[in-house]
Amino acid sequence: MVTDNLQSQNDEIDFKKSLEETFRNYEENTIISATVDSINDEIVYLDFGGKSEAKIPVGEFIARPKVGDVVEVYLVYQEGYDGDPVVSLSKAKQLKEKDELYSLIKNETVLEGDVVEVRKYGVMIKYGSLHGFVPLALWDVKRTEDSSGIKEKKISFVIDRIAIPRDTGGKKQLGIKEDFVANRKKALLSGNKQKKSDFFETAKEGDVVKGTVKNITDFGAFIDIGGVEGLLHIKEISWNKVDAVSDVLKVGDVVDVKIISIKKDKQQIGLGMKYLTEQPWDKFIKEYKVDSVVKGTVTSLMPYGAFVKIIDGVEALLHISDMSWIKNVKHPKELLTKGQSVEVKIQSIDEEHKKINVSLKHLLENPWDIAETKYQVGTKVSGRIKSVTSFGAFVELEEGVDALLYKDEISWTEVVDPVKFFKEGETIEAEVLQCDVKNNKIKLGVRQLSDDPWKNIPTKLKQDDVVECEIVEVSTEKGLVVKFVNNLNIVIGFQQIAAGRIDEIKQSLASDYKVGNKVNATIRNLDLKKRVIELSIRDYEKAVERKSVKDYLVTEKDHGKFTLADHMKSKND
């Protein structure tokens, strides 16, 4: 029983294998060979080894075939709606012809064709039995936007690609249907290849050639020098600065140019026009030296300075720091305008890098040149407060000459806060303490206008001496400010005003002390060399209290009254 089942399965496998060998599978959308099996008045039946025969109308054949003839057809579907294969004879012929086009495309073969129709967006041509379309974008090496000027009858072209049938939405396509897209521009460029090859073999840098301006861009112009285009950069047109190429050149101009660079590997050519005239730098070097005074024209303004044309093709930099002695110039436009004529002095010439620096201020009087004589140490001056900082004030003595007044030089007796002490714009009197002309620095002092109170403090004063002072300020922030000898102000802190808690001292300060009152204080510390004086009301009051107690005890003893201490002393004796 098992043996019978195995035999049945093997027979089924052999049948399927035999069926697959009988009916061969072909790939759809390919060209296959088929044999004419039979013919009637309307249909030709073709056998290509499929499950059923293919049918083609007799009218598709140019000549009526015979049974047994082998023909090539295009297999569209292996099974159509009725189960039969769908093939096309005309499609196979068309594809075979287009197969030839593929090799022409791959090889970029230059072909000849006839112009059969000029359309709005291109030209129809005929090559053999096929038709091609040349779009305007592929018509010429230069841009073509209007087809009305096209008069050619025969052209050279390269097949660009096979045309893709257009979807007409069921409408009948009018005119000639193209089979391929042609490229005339590429054929023209191909024709120039030999010219380019010859040019790069013979041309060399330094050659002067004649050319025609073909195109103008923002950065330069393309010049045709005999079938080969070179770039004339905007900087190579003239020794003078060129703002726009169109100001100098026009399309179609015939010009003489010099070949300045050749890159054979990249097929690039660099051209120059300015080299055909004398180089302005050489002329400048002959005529001008450092310290020469020249007249120039401002050509451009930059944040860091201005460029001044000295002669045609030669510009110098007028740096912002060389514009004025007396003004802090933030931008050249504060003093100069483009196109302005200015007189400047040549400061330096860098022949290697062809750079020139000029100065405007070196033709003007520098107030610092006479500052050393005008502002000698000890000179009394007046000036306007320009600005105030935490460390001092800047004082304008005259236009272009500023001085610094440090806060330590404002008062002999106290450290002053300049921000609170001065106002911008006010005029003050001061004395010159230092004049450094080389570094443009002057230092001032205000306290030097009055006598130094420390110099006249009596030398007989010493620590623990009692002095009488006048209260000039009562402050809950720092304590009492009193006038010492020679009008020297001394601050007595809270701990030296009275014993007790500081917050309690502050609360009673305004009621206990008044400006103008006199107070006695003890000198706690006195160092004239270091200019240090410390006063204490508390120490004075303690000393007075001790003296009072001592005086009281002496008085009582004289009247025969004894204290417990006296009694203990007598017993010991």
Say which CATH number the domain at 496 has.
Answer: 2.40.50.140
Task: Return the closest-CA partner of residue 155 out of 111, 100, 119, 117.
Answer: 111
140 assigned to some structural domain: no
Together in a domain, 348 and 384: no
Q: How far is CA 204 from CA 226, 256, 263, 270, in A?
A: 15, 16, 10, 11
| Number of domains present in the structure of the chain | 5
The pLDDT of residue 479 is above 80 = yes
pLDDT at 558: 58
- Please, which residues bridge with residue 33 across strands? 72
Of residues 13 and 272, more confidence is placed in 272
Does residue 107 have a pLDDT over 90? no
Look at residue 356 and tell me whether its pLDDT is greater than 80. yes
217 and 250 fall within a common domain: yes
Give the residue with greater pLDDT, 525 vs 19: 525
Q: Are residues 329 and 297 in the same domain?
A: yes
- Distance, C-alpha 376 to centroid of its chain: 49
**Does 351 share its domain with 394?**
no
What proportion of the chain, given as a percentage, has pLDDT over 90?
29
Is position 281 within any domain? no
Query: What is the per-residue pLDDT across 207-263, written as a single tens digit (0 to 9) for each?
Result: 899 999 988 999 999 998 877 889 999 999 988 888 899 999 999 899 999 999 988
What domain range includes position 317?
A: 292-363
Domain's final residue, options 392, 416, 449: 449
Find tokens 């990249």 and name the residue.
266
Q: Is 322 left (phi over 0), alpha (psi -120 to 50) or beta?
A: alpha
- State the pLDDT at residue 27: 80
Task: Give 373's strand partners.
Answer: none
For the chain, state the CA radius of gyration.
55
Lowest mean pLDDT among 81-85, 486-490, 550-554: 550-554
Q: Are 161 and 105 in contact (CB under 8 A)?
A: yes
pLDDT of residue 229: 86
Is 11 within a domain?
Answer: no
pLDDT at 164: 63
Asked if pLDDT for residue 26 goes beyond 60, the answer is: yes
Q: What is the pLDDT of residues 118-157, one digit of tens each?
A: 888 899 998 876 889 999 888 887 788 888 878 888 888 9
Name the E strands within 427-560: 427-436, 441-445, 466-475, 479-483, 489-492, 518-527, 532-536
On average, the pLDDT of the chain sits at 83
Q: Would residue 70 count as lying in a domain?
A: yes
Same domain? For 28 and 93 the reply is yes
Average pLDDT for 176-196: 79
- Which has more confidence, 212 or 370? 212
Both 378 and 349 in a single domain?
A: no
Q: Are residues 315 and 244 in the same domain?
A: no
Same domain, residue pair 298 and 251: no
On whether residue 165 sits in a domain, the answer given is no
What is the pLDDT confidence band of residue 6, given thresholds at 50, 70 and 90? very low
Domain assignment of residue 69, yes or no: yes
**Whether residue 401 is found in the same domain as residue 428:** yes
- Does some domain include residue 161? no
**Given 276, 310, 336, which residue is the final one in a domain?**
276
Residue 182 maps to a domain: no
pLDDT digits (tens, 9 = 90+) for 420-478: 889 999 999 999 999 988 888 999 999 888 877 777 677 778 888 898 999 989 988 88
| Token pair for 15 | 């049948």
Query: Is the same domain home to 207 and 226?
Result: yes
One domain for residues 357 and 371 = no
d(CA 333, CA 335): 5
Total residue length of the chain: 573
Sheet holding 489-492, edge to edge: 489-492, 479-483, 466-475, 518-527, 532-536
User: Could you tell me which residues come within 8 angstroms of residue 177 by beta carbon, excluding any fewer than 6 positions away?
Assistant: 131, 165
Distances (CA, A) of 20 to 45, 50, 76, 225: 22, 10, 21, 69
* Residue in the block written with tokens 């039995």: 129
Same domain? 428 vs 468: no
